[in-house]
Amino acid sequence: MLVLTRKSGEGLWIGDDIRIQVLEVREGQVRIGIDAPEEKGIYRNELYERIRKLNMQASRTSKDDLDSL
């Protein structure tokens, strides 16, 4: 994991097409802006983990489960 220190207004690039900028630091929270192509999925960690869990459950669905629907 790369760990960086950035101040408000500073940012970084991931590749040539994703820019992340620190917008504000206040009361223990950091607001960030992400500029990326629309086809890139950007998810909060808790949402990404939920999607991953649901996809794993769906991949275990059997033909009998589908036939019962």
Residue 3: which of 18, 12, 45 has the closest Cα? 12
What is residue 63's predicted lDDT score, i.e. its pLDDT?
74
32 close to 44: Cβ distance less than 8 angstroms: no
Whether 51 is covered by a domain: the verdict is no
How many residues are given for the chain?
Answer: 69
Looking at beta carbons, which pairs linking 7-11 to residues 24 or more positions away fall under 8 Å? none
> What tens digit of pLDDT does each residue of 8-47 get?
999 999 999 999 999 999 999 999 999 999 999 999 999 9
Q: Provide the domain count of the chain.
A: 1
Whether 19 is covered by a domain: the verdict is yes
Whether 46 is covered by a domain: the verdict is no
Whether 18 is covered by a domain: the verdict is yes
Whether 58 is covered by a domain: the verdict is no
> CA–CA separation, 6 vs 23, rounded Å?
10
Whole-model pTM: value is 0.70
What is residue 8's predicted lDDT score, i.e. its pLDDT?
95
Whether 1 is covered by a domain: the verdict is no
- State the residue range of the domain holding 11: 7-37
